[in-house]
Chains A and B, each alone.
Chain A
């Protein structure tokens, strides 16, 4: 069965510092991996996805993610965090029929 784990419930970072949100996965076969962001009282917004090819995937709002097959990880990164990046972040892995298996989410808090 496909699954993802987000080991941190919350990540705190000061504005201007690098931001990393961790995700590890367990799949049979090649993984299709996604990151979504949810701002307060909003639906989820797609940030980026990995299907194949370059291990560094660039997405929206200056975010990128690094796929590491040997460590079965897909960590989300941003070089310089903004207060407006404060939100709930979800990692997900694609299953059959295009279904997504989501992690529990990581709350990011960026302080000025």
Chain B
């Protein structure tokens, strides 16, 4: 079974803090993704990576950065957390290739910024 794990299920931070969310997958997937989920908006892509040290902006990258130093690990960084970044954050991974790139998701991190 594919396993995607995220470092925390729940996180509470203060405005202005630097926040790190970590995601690890054990299936040797090339692609990794960070989404945020908000009610009524579905999932929106923040950043994705198709290889080590490679990253591409998604639909809502402002206020976020990412790091992928190893193939299995993809980190999301909130440089200076703000209250409008309170959300559920979901990590996903997949193989590359149109017929094989089903995304598999981690359990999510519910972040609250006070």
Contact = CB atoms under 8 A, between A and B. Distances in A.
Interface stretch (B13-21, B61-69, B70-78, B92-100): B92-100
Given A97-B31, A97-B48, A99-B33, A43 B107 contact: yes
Contacts of B92: 44
Contacts of B107: 42-43
Interface residues of A, number: 22
A98 B31 contact: yes
Interface residues of B, number: 29
B56 interface: yes
B105 A44 contact: yes
A43 B105 contact: yes
A100 interface: yes
Contacts of A90: 42-43
A9, A94, A99 — which one has the most chain B CB atoms within 10 A of its CB? A99
Contacts, number: 57
Interface stretch (A12-20, A65-73, A75-83, A101-109): A101-109
B29 to A, nearest CB: 10
A99 B96 CA distance: 10
A43 B90 CA distance: 7
A103 B40 CA distance: 9
Interface in A13-71: 32, 34, 36, 41-46, 49, 51
A99 B48 contact: yes
Interface of B: 4, 31, 33, 40-45, 48, 50, 56, 58, 90, 92, 94, 96-99, 101-108, 110
27 contacts: A34-B102, A41-B108, A41-B110, A42-B108, A43-B106, A43-B107, A44-B43, A44-B90, A44-B92, A45-B105, A46-B103, A49-B102, A51-B98, A97-B48, A97-B50, A97-B56, A98-B50, A98-B97, A98-B98, A98-B101, A98-B103, A99-B45, A99-B48, A100-B103, A102-B43, A104-B40, A105-B42
